[in-house]
Chains A and B, each alone.
Chain A
Amino acid sequence: GAVVSQHPSWVICKSGTSVKIECRSLDFQATTMFWYRQFPKQSLMLMATSNEGSKATYEQGVEKDKFLINHASLTLSTLTVTSAHPEDSSFYICSAGRQGVVNQPQHFGDGTRLSIL
């Protein structure tokens, strides 16, 4: 069964709305989680690394004030798209790996399809 749960699966909302996406590790603790964005027919692009108890690390070109990341516990990271606009419409995916093991496979959530009208 799924080891990483992502919610919601689909979001449709009006421009200017803020949207929160949750990523939970179900049966393990994850000090680090990753957030990706995927455009249609393209690969995954890493947006940021979410670190439990500290600030997220953002990739170059990703606006940290636009994409707020909170990793308040060892099993939950949230991505909030603030004041979303149509250009923010995309497929967002999170991943997490078991704590303390390097080069392990990441477990991915099922993704969130965000559509901004």
Chain B
Amino acid sequence: AQSVTQLDSHVSVSEGTPVLLRCNYSSSYSPSLFWYVQHPNKGLQLLLKYTSAATLVKGINGFEAEFKKSETSFHLTKPSAHMSDAAEYFCVVSEAAGNKLTFGGGTRVLVKP
């Protein structure tokens, strides 16, 4: 069985400051991990993915995440937050077969001007 824990339900940052969204996972397999962003009343947009290649993954919009197997973590970071980054972020782990996804509880990011 697999599970995902997002350690913060809400994160508030000032525009131009770094953003850190924390994610820990458990999986019986070598996992594939994803970060998705969801804006209000919208579907999910893929930010980045880890699929057993480089442990530091760069995504869209300046986001990146580092896979740390020893810590079972996949934290998402961005050096400088923009107002448009205000949204809900989901850390997701994928089963080895079948592409079935398990979602974290989500982290809502608020960006203050």
A60 to B100, CA, bound (A): 15
A-B contact count (CB 8 A): 55
Residues of B at under 8 Å CB distance from A? 32, 34, 36, 41-46, 49, 51, 90, 94, 96-101, 103-106, 108
Contact among B32, B41, B49, B90 for A43, CB-based, below 8 A: B90
Tell me which residues across on chain B come within 8 A of A105, comparing CB atoms: 34, 46, 49
Please determine whether B94 and A103 come into contact, CB atoms closer than 8 angstroms: yes
Size category of the A interface is 20 to 34
A46 with B100, Cβ < 8 A, contacts A91-B41, A103-B32, A105-B34 known = yes
For A104, what are the chain B residues with a Cβ–Cβ distance below 8 Å?
99
Q: Nearest CB to that of B106 among chain A residues?
A: A43
- Interface assignment of A6: CB less than 8 Å from any CB of chain B: yes
Give the distance in Å from the alpha carbon of A49 to the alpha carbon of B42 in the complex.
21
- Chain B neighbourhood of A107, CB < 8 A: 46
Contacts of B101 in A (CB 8 A): 34, 46, 95, 106
- Given A43-B105, A44-B103, A46-B101: A103 touches B96 (CB 8 Å cut-off): yes
The answer to whether residues A43 and B99 also contact, given A91-B41, A93-B43 and a CB cut-off of 8 A, is: no
Counting chain B CB atoms within 10 Å of each CB, which of A32, A44, A108 scores highest? A44
Chosen A-B contacts, 9 in total, with CB atoms closer than 8 Å, are: A6-B43, A34-B100, A43-B90, A93-B44, A102-B97, A103-B96, A103-B99, A108-B45, A110-B42
Contact of B99 among A4, A91, A93, A97 (CB under 8 A): A97
Nearest CB in chain B: distance from A101 CB, A: 8
How near does chain B come to A28, taking the closest CB pair, in angstroms?
A: 13
**B105 contacts across to A, CB distance below 8 A:** 42-43
CA distance A97 to B108 in the complex (A): 26
CA distance A104 to B51 in the complex (A): 8
Using Cβ atoms and an 8 Å threshold, which residues of chain B touch A111? 41-43
